[in-house]
């Protein structure tokens, strides 16, 4: 069974621990391709100098060479290559794409990979080109699935990678992924994408990745086969790819080309080296041009590896910081075809899928980078919840629309709010869409950095959303406010605090959740230093605490009991096996392997109710995974338990 565990996440990207017989690999990971016939940089150097945790080599090349084959069978592929870390082998599928048919039985090459001790072997799938007809692509997919089914019988203790094919046909990709996921496969390469990358068809590439991911078991690693240029790493990781392999470091070096984070440079076309890697820090462009081909080849290969591994490190840090989307958007500005790929992600069906994996809030503020920002999944979620969960007509029938101001909006417009009767609300026409004044402290509204002037598309999207939000209300202009003001001011001031609590509860926990959490005498405790709401009591029960970092609530066990009584199963619930009931009541975290059901509306970092199979409330906690992941993963924590239910 594959030991694969999520440690950090952002977008659909993730930092995971992948355990093999030869060590643990942290993803996203780049696997340098080692050609056993032509080793430029040794595998040991890959590990020691470039910190490569895993490498990949081609088992078909080893198999076809008698000397290499016999040594690999006698001593193992790790000793053959001089590498004692995790090692993956390819099967010869790419050779069939480049050179035509390969003369080997699909099960024979899997047995060979097993016998030489590969940690991760690969099936001999049928490479399917982007220009393949649908009929031909379907035949290739059926043959690939058939080969996977047969090959799995011979994998032994080796992890087996079963490749997803399907050309550019999205439904076919998804179907192939679903069928492969039903098998005892351990690793999922997305294949047949090299021609798309060679022709910079990143729009098609994005669709291929997402449609494949939609059908795949999320608990196993995904490898974007043949993706070796760092230009596409951020986008591919954001869409859920965990592994990449690079032979590009050598191929580009052989052609006197330098890989850069934003593209590729020809050495003979530059006078300066716009890079600070060890190679470029020690040499000038002139020196590289005048040295021998062999020496230059080696140094350019080193440069290409430094840049490629550097991009992986950058992506990992972005995931930990919660700003991977910003990295993706900034990267897209360096290539027009990447901008086309981001345009694809604006489709509703893709945003809907990506939103499933998007955490509720992040450690850092949301930064605007351009027209793509308004389409991010976390903003898409805010808009959906605003229309689905936010209570409007229960509280007011008139709206004053005010322009965006300094944050927090409620402080800037305090003089207006305090003088308005309760039946009139203030809505900010913000650059993220309409913001009722009481929601101005929640993520990402307060925690966003926007320029004074945004692009026309963002303006258009926000205008449509505001028009939709205002439908059915009487709109009052700022100039006419004097007709409606309440000079006492006290009533409006008190109601804003309560309205903030009610609205945030509904946005976070679901429509009408306030009816459960706020039933009884309400007491709001504020910070003495900031004046902001910190704790909410109902009939002297501590039901909620408001976090200063994201303006959202931490659910207390008293509040959890109320929501448990109010909402029907399975809303807000993560259901665990009865056998681990005492484990949870002892305050331990919920591990994925014990989860039997989960509310499909829960998202990473959502507050949740932990219940047993009889719907008995055991504890309150915070989700680390969504439903798809909880029901798939066999390793790792699904819910971080915060407070156990001591009441019987």
pLDDT reading at 432 higher than 50: yes
Characterize the bridge pairing of strands 541-546 and 533-538. Answer: antiparallel
* Percent of the chain residues past pLDDT 90, beyond the cut: 89
Whole-number pLDDT of residue 482: 73
331 and 412, same domain (yes or no): no
pLDDT reading at 510 higher than 50: yes
**pLDDT tier for residue 494 given thresholds of 50, 70 and 90:** very low
Whole-number pLDDT of residue 487: 44
- The question of whether 90 is a catalytic residue gets the answer yes
117 and 249, same domain (yes or no): yes
Mean pLDDT score, 591-620? 98
Whole-number pLDDT of residue 495: 74
466 and 412, same domain (yes or no): yes
At 225, give phi and psi (nearest 5°): -65, 130
492 and 377, same domain (yes or no): yes
Domain with residue 577: its CATH number is 2.30.130.10
Residue at 547 is within a domain: no
Domain end (from 441, 467, 496) = 496
Residue at 297 is within a domain: no
574 and 483, same domain (yes or no): no
pLDDT reading at 100 higher than 80: no
pLDDT in tens, 164-181: 999 999 999 999 999 999
> Under 8 Å CB-to-CB from 425, ≥6 apart: which residues?
395, 396, 398, 399, 400, 436, 437, 438, 499
144 and 65, same domain (yes or no): yes
pLDDT reading at 491 higher than 60: no
| 105 Ramachandran zone, left/alpha/beta (phi>0; psi -120 to 50) | beta
Write out 328-361 in H/E/C secondary structure: HHHHHCCCHHHHHHHHHCCCHHHHHHHHCCCCCC
Whole-number pLDDT of residue 492: 45
**pLDDT tier for residue 637 given thresholds of 50, 70 and 90:** very high
Whole-number pLDDT of residue 101: 67
Q: 180-216 in b/e burial notation, b at 16+ Cβ within 10 A?
A: bbeeebbbbbbbbbbbbbeebbbbbbbbbbbbbbbbb
pLDDT in tens, 260-313: 999 999 999 999 999 999 999 999 999 999 999 999 999 999 999 999 999 999
What CA dihedral angle connects 510, 516, 521 and 524, to 10 degrees? -30
Whole-number pLDDT of residue 489: 46
Which of 10, 90, 242, 440 is the catalytic position?
A: 90
491 and 586, same domain (yes or no): no
By the 8 A CB rule, do 53 and 25 touch? yes
Characterize the bridge pairing of strands 263-266 and 257-260. Answer: antiparallel
**pLDDT tier for residue 113 given thresholds of 50, 70 and 90:** very high
What CA dihedral angle connects 334, 338, 339 and 340, to 10 degrees? 150
Whole-number pLDDT of residue 244: 98
Number of folded domains that form the chain: 3
- Who has greater pLDDT, 494 or 217? 217
By the 8 A CB rule, do 435 and 428 touch? yes
Whole-number pLDDT of residue 646: 82
DSSP H or E run through 317: helix 293-321
Domain with residue 447: its CATH number is 3.90.1020.10
Q: How far apart are CA 231 and CA 246, in angstroms?
A: 12
pLDDT reading at 478 higher than 80: no
Domain end (from 344, 374, 401) = 344
Q: What is the mean pLDDT of the chain?
A: 94
Mean pLDDT score, 528-554? 95
**pLDDT tier for residue 633 given thresholds of 50, 70 and 90:** very high
461 and 584, same domain (yes or no): no
Residue at 314 is within a domain: no
207 and 144, same domain (yes or no): yes
Q: From 314, 456, 458, select the one nearest 373 (Cα to Cα).
A: 458
* Percent of the chain residues past pLDDT 70, beyond the cut: 97
55 and 182, same domain (yes or no): yes
pLDDT in tens, 573-597: 999 999 999 999 999 999 999 999 9
pLDDT reading at 609 higher than 90: yes
Residue at 313 is within a domain: no
Q: How far apart are CA 31 and CA 90, in angstroms?
A: 12
Q: Which domain holds residue 124?
A: 3-253+323-344
pLDDT reading at 97 higher than 70: no
Q: From 148, 152, 202, select the one nearest 178 (Cα to Cα).
A: 148
Domain end (from 496, 512, 538) = 496
Whole-number pLDDT of residue 99: 60
**pLDDT tier for residue 647 given thresholds of 50, 70 and 90:** confident
Length of the chain: 648
Whole-number pLDDT of residue 12: 97
How many Å separate Cα 441 from the centre of its chain? 25
Characterize the bridge pairing of strands 263-266 and 533-538. Answer: unpaired
Q: How buried is 298 (Cβ within 10 angstroms: 0-12 exposed, 13-18 middle, 19+ buried)?
A: middle
Residue with structure tokens 């939609």? 214
Q: How buried is 294 (Cβ within 10 angstroms: 0-12 exposed, 13-18 middle, 19+ buried)?
A: exposed
Domain with residue 235: its CATH number is 3.20.20.105
Whole-number pLDDT of residue 314: 98
Structure tokens at 395: 């509280």
Q: How far is CA 151 from CA 144, 270, 609, in A?
A: 10, 49, 42
pLDDT in tens, 178-227: 999 999 999 999 999 999 999 999 999 999 999 999 999 999 999 999 99
């Amino acid at each position: 069974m594959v030991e694969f565990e999520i440690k950090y996440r952002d977008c659909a990207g993730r930092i995971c621990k992948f355990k093999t017989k030869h060590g643990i690999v942290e993803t996203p990971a780049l696997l340098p391709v080692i050609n056993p016939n032509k080793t430029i940089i040794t595998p040991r150097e890959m590990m020691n100098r470039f910190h490569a945790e895993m490498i990949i080599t081609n088992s078909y090349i080893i198999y076809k060479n008698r000397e290499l084959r016999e040594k690999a069978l006698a001593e193992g592929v790790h000793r053959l290559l001089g590498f004692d870390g995790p090692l993956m082998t390819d099967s010869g599928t790419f050779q069939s794409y480049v050179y035509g048919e390969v003369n080997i039985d699909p099960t024979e090459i899997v047995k060979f990979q097993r016998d030489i001790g590969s940690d991760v072997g690969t099936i001999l799938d049928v490479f399917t080109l982007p220009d393949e007809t649908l009929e031909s692509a379907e035949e290739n997919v059926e043959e690939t699935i058939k080969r996977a089914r047969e090959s799995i019988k011979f994998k032994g203790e080796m992890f087996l990678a079963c490749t997803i094919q399907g050309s550019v046909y999205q439904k076919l990709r998804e179907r192939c992924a679903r069928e492969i996921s039903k098998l005892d496969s351990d690793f999922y390469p997305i294949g047949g994408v090299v021609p798309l990358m060679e022709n910079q068809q990143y729009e098609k590439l994005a669709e291929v990745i997402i449609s494949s991911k939609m059908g795949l078991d999320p608990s196993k690693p995904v490898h974007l086969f043949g993706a070796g240029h760092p230009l596409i790493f951020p986008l591919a990781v954001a869409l859920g790819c965990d592994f990449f392999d690079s032979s590009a470091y050598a191929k580009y070096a052989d052609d006197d080309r330098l890989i850069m984070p934003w593209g590729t440079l020809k050495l003979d076309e530059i006078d300066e080296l716009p890079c600070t890697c060890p190679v470029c820090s020690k040499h000038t462009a002139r020196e590289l041009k005048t040295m021998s081909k062999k020496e230059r080849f080696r140094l350019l290969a080193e440069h290409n590896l430094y840049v490629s591994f550097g991009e992986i490190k950058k992506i990992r840090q972005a995931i930990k910081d919660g700003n991977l989307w910003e990295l993706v958007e900034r990267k897209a500005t360096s290539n027009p075809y990447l901008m086309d790929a981001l345009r694809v992600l604006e489709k509703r069906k893709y945003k809907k899928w990506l939103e499933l994996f998007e955490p509720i809030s992040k450690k850092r503020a949301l930064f605007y980078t351009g027209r793509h920002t308004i389409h991010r999944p976390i903003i898409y979620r805010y808009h959906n919840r605003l229309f689905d969960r936010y209570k409007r007509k229960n509280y007011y029938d008139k709206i004053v629309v005010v322009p965006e101001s300094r944050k927090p909006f409620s402080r800037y417009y305090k003089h207006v709010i305090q003088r308005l009767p309760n039946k009139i609300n203030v809505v900010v026409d913000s650059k993220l869409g309409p913001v009722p004044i009481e929601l101005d402290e929640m993520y990402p509204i307060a925690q966003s950095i926007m320029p004074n002037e945004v692009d026309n598309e963002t303006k258009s999207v926000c205008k449509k959303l505001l028009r939709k939000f205002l439908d059915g209300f009487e709109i009052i202009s700022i100039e006419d406010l004097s007709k409606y003001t309440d000079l006492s001011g006290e009533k409006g001031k008190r109601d804003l605090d309560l309205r903030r609590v009610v609205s945030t509860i509904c946005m976070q926990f679901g429509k009408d959740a306030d009816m459960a959490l706020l039933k009884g005498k309400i007491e709001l405790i504020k910070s003495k230093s900031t004046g902001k709401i910190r704790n909410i009591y109902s009939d002297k029960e501590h039901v909620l605490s408001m976090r200063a970092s994201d303006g959202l609530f931490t659910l207390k066990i008293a509040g959890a009991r109320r929501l448990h009584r109010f909402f029907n199963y399975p809303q807000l619930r993560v259901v665990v096996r009865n056998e681990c009931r005492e484990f949870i009541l002892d305050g331990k975290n919920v591990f994925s392997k014990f989860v039997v059901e989960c509310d499909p509306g829960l998202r990473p970092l959502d507050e949740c109710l932990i219940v047993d199979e009889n719907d008995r409330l055991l504890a309150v906690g915070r989700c680390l995974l969504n439903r798809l992941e909880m029901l798939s993963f066999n390793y790792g924590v699904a819910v971080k338990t915060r407070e156990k239910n001591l009441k019987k």
